[in-house]
Amino acid sequence: MMTEYEKKILDGIADCRRTGLICLSAGAFLYVGSLLPQYHEPADLLVLQISSFLFLISSGLFYWRTVILRQKLHQ
């Protein structure tokens, strides 16, 4: 039987994994958009690259948070 605390941690793990996957997908989509030639201005390219980088970093942070929650669950 799972306690309420374990259920809350499992819900947090599922939320972090989903959010991390969404951020990874968005970051990859924006990165591919920055690779397409002749369809954007140089300023747009910088915005695409920075937002892609931020989404990829946030994806890593969400997966890191998932690892921390798993460790907390197994303690």
Residue range(s) defining the domain that contains residue 18: 4-74
The 3-state secondary structure of 1-70 reads CCCHHHHHHHHHHHHHHHHHHHHHHHHHHHHHHHHCCCCCCHHHHHHHHHHHHHHHHHHHHHHHHHHHHH
Give pLDDT, residue 11: 95
User: What pLDDT score was predicted for residue 75?
Assistant: 83
Question: What domain count does the chain have?
Answer: 1
Q: Which parts of the chain have pLDDT scores under 50?
A: none
- pLDDT at position 63 is 96
Q: Do residues 56 and 10 lie in contact, with contact meaning Cβ atoms separated by under 8 Å?
A: no
Output the pLDDT for position 45.
82
Tokens of 34: 């920055």
